[in-house]
Structure 1
Amino acid sequence: MDKIAKVISLITLGLVVFPCLLYFLGAIELDAVKWAALAGTIGWFISTPLWMSRKLPVDANQVEI
């Protein structure tokens, strides 16, 4: 699951970066950049926490002394 989430995260990050570069070069229009960046941002915020999450520390009520 982690590998799939990492790949999706990388692809969606590319959806944010590459259209901006293409717009800078004059290859695509601004509306296409906006839609690609929006889709990439939403996909990145959904996929990245799946593989980047950390283990939560143990609560004090779960520890027996």
Structure 2
Amino acid sequence: MKTLLKFGSLLGLMLTIYPPVMFYMGDVDLDRMKWSMGIGMVLWFVTAPFWINKSSAQGK
């Protein structure tokens, strides 16, 4: 479960960082960039609190 949450968090971060770069390069339009970043933000805030700052002893 923790691995799945980490993967979701990583995907959320990628959806937050990658679209502005693509917008700067001219590959995506502003609306698509905003939607992608919004989805990434929600995904990050939903998944990250469940595994960040947890010791490995708590997960076992």
Bucket of the pairwise TM-score, normalised by the shorter protein: 0.7 to 0.9
Q: Percent identity?
A: 31
Runs of 4+ in 1 over 3 A off after TM superposition: none
Q: Secondary structure at the match of 1:52?
A: coil
Partner in structure 1 of residue 41 of structure 2:
41
Gaps of 5+ in 2: 56-60
Residue 50 of structure 1 aligns to which amino acid in structure 2? F
Give the root-mean-square deviation of aligned CA atoms: 1.2
Shift in Å at residue 54 of structure 1? 3.7
- The structure whose Rg is larger is 1
Shift in Å at residue 30 of structure 1? 0.4
Partner in structure 2 of residue 31 of structure 1:
31
Partner in structure 1 of residue 58 of structure 2:
none
Q: TM-score scaled by structure 1?
A: 0.78
Gaps of 5+ in 1: 56-65
Total equivalences in the alignment: 55
Question: Partners of 1:4 and 1:43 in 2: how far apart?
Answer: 12
Partner in structure 2 of residue 22 of structure 1:
22
Shift in Å at residue 7 of structure 1? 0.5
